[in-house]
Amino acid sequence: MEDSGPKRYRQRKACDLCHQKKIRCDRQKPACETCHLAGERCIFSVWQPSSRHTLQGQLADAKARIRALEGTIAFRPSWTGDCAGKNYFQSPFDLNVAIDTFQWYIQYCWPGVANSLPRNAFHSAVYLQTGAVFDLQHFLQEARQTFMSQNAFYTVPQKQKVIPQWPKVALVQRCIDYFIIKGLYSIFSVVDPEALQTLIAKRTLEYTEGSSRASDWACLAAFTALIVRLHPHEFALIYTDPDAYIQAALMLLPDLLMETANVRTLEAVLLLTLYFLPSGQPQKAERFLSIAVRIVYNLGGNRVTPPRETETDPRKHSHLRALFWHCYAIDKDMSLRKCEPPLMHDIDCDLDLPPNYVPSSDEQFFKKPLSPDKLIFPSDLRLTLIKARIYHFLYSNHGRAQPQATQLRYIRELDQEMSDLMADFPAGCRPDVLAIENAPDALFHDLGTRGVALHLEYYFCLGRVHEASSACGMPSTHSWSAVPSSVELYHEAARSTLLYTRRVPHIFPCHTFWIHAQVLLTAVLNLFWYLIQYPTAQSFCADLEILEHIRQMFIGLIRTGDSARPFPPFYITEAFIGTLIGLAKRSLARATGK
């Protein structure tokens, strides 16, 4: 019998925002935790059992959405600049983007750019040793077609515009509190949390143009975006959009660059650098870094003694020096990776390490509580100084112009510096203890991401030192040659890198893959080169097995990724290693006649 009585209405058990996000609501008053952190009103709408939406209901929903949009627009400052409405972000799941990025990185791993002498030498060496023609461009074309055929339901992600959005004050405060409580200044001393707290107290984000500097807005937005991106699990229950916050900061670039630069300006630009660096967009990061370097020089951060010491707060200058070291470390890493001149020259900088820098301790490698009173930075600054010397003595025009005997002396001296650095690491944290086939799993259990990255950097630098010997003994531009002792050493560096990588596949999540991609690909190519040059070596089968293990690791990453969509960079890397394995087997067959 049809119920003709009045419809029953009841209040939802979750507020509107928690209901929309499908998360548990604690129903606290005056606002639940989710609404409080998101800076939204906590509303419990009446639930209607009918699934049909009346015309009046649809109109009410539309009005509510309009009010929400109006609130968002009203919240934004009137700064627009030339960046408004443009899209500066690329989807990491876009196959075309992945191929372009892979080509950019692979040219600095050894083979060089297309149609260059190094690339031609690479192709010639492969043909000479294997009898097979291998062309990187052709490989990438085939990889594109194979990927599309194996992923029939794959569609190229549409380029969606990222709408600029300013983070809510509550979210910014949450990020500042998290930064302070976790002691993150010890590693990422890229902002002064006390200064950011002052900006919040002055209600900077609640006013529009004219009431504060563009650098203040950009710094708060970029800081929030970076913290949310680096620590997504800490903010999983809060609606966040870090790309939108970065887009809002980019919207202020014209005003940011026209203002008189101060420390907030430097922080904002450096935060933009760090945001783009791991996303497979290093060219953008380089541009922001070049701006940051110039600001560092203008503010006197490159000197231990500030230009006007009597007018400068010592604590503020200490923070400025920390910002200098971040810029210096990124610059020297990029320079060595690309074998191109750095932006910062040592002769113009005071390179005294910060007084509170901790060069050697378990904190450098293991997951331990951090103290903002101690600086450890993302990488060991002593290794950064060695990177600068590796480029200057071995890869700069000055280094290449030296006699062969002088170059070989530089190689020996830099190799000794690397050995001395490793000997200064805590006993259980030395890379040679972990980069072996039978290293116990327990050694990797408490190792932090920073410690893993530092070990991989060590072997990358060691490889760069001994790769330089090939330039010393190269008889022509179409062949590769190297000093025998260096051949063995960079062969061992490549093996160690890959043996180590097998044990730490967790450092290759989708959103940070490109940070370590060049280190991995360089080791793969170095080991491949050794295989085809010495196919009868006793280590051939063991080395080939290492490459196969790395290939299987990426097959596993493709299948167990944190997204339902296939991640093209993993597929391209796996296919590339598989192709090199096939060529190495051809070199063995050619050498043995089997």
CATH no. for 13-42: 4.10.240.10
Distance CA 349, CA 303 (A): 6
Task: Work out the number of other CB atoms within 10 angstroms of the CB of residue 103.
Answer: 15
Q: What is the pLDDT of residue 353?
A: 95
The amino acid present at 146, given as its one-letter code, is: T
Give the sign of the dihedral formed by CA 368, CA 371, CA 374, CA 377.
positive
Q: What is the pLDDT of residue 135?
A: 86
End-to-end CA distance of the chain: 86
Distance CA 249, CA 213 (A): 12
Distance CA 266, CA 272 (A): 10
Q: What is the pLDDT of residue 359?
A: 85
Distance CA 590, CA 594 (A): 7
Q: Helices in 425-567 by DSSP H: which ranges? A: 431-434, 442-445, 449-467, 469-472, 484-503, 513-533, 540-559
Kind plus residue range of the DSSP H or E element containing 10: strand 10-11
| Joined tokens for residue 274 | 């760090």
> What does each of the 594 residues of the chain score in pLDDT, given as a tens digit?
444 444 444 556 788 777 776 677 888 887 887 777 666 778 877 655 544 456 766 676 676 666 555 444 444 454 444 444 456 677 778 888 899 999 999 999 877 777 778 788 888 889 999 999 998 889 999 999 899 888 766 666 666 677 888 999 999 999 999 999 999 999 999 999 999 999 998 888 776 555 578 999 999 999 999 999 988 888 876 788 899 999 999 999 999 999 999 999 999 999 999 999 988 888 999 999 999 999 999 999 999 987 664 456 788 999 999 999 999 999 999 999 999 999 999 999 999 999 999 987 778 888 888 888 899 999 999 999 999 999 999 999 999 999 989 999 999 999 999 999 999 998 888 999 999 888 888 888 888 888 999 999 999 999 999 988 775 433 333 344 556 677 888 899 999 999 999 999 988 888 789 999 999 999 999 999 999 999 999 999 999 999 999 999 999 888 655 556 788 999 999 999 999 999 999 999 999 887
Mention every residue, 6+ apart, whose C-beta is less than 8 A from residue 539: 495
Q: How many residues are listed for the chain in this entry?
A: 594
Domain segments of the chain as ranges: 13-42, 106-155+363-473+480-592, 169-352
How far, in Å, are 257, 432, 501, 541 from residue 515 at the CA level? 28, 22, 14, 30
The amino acid present at 583, given as its one-letter code, is: L
Query: Residue with structure tokens 């194996």?
Result: 150
Cis bond upstream, residue 505 (ω within 30): no
| Joined tokens for residue 121 | 């030498």
Q: What residues does 375 pair with on adjacent strands?
A: 357
Please, what is the angle between helix 214-230 and helix 169-181, to 10°? Answer: 60
HSE-CB at 423 with a 13 A cutoff on CA atoms is 6
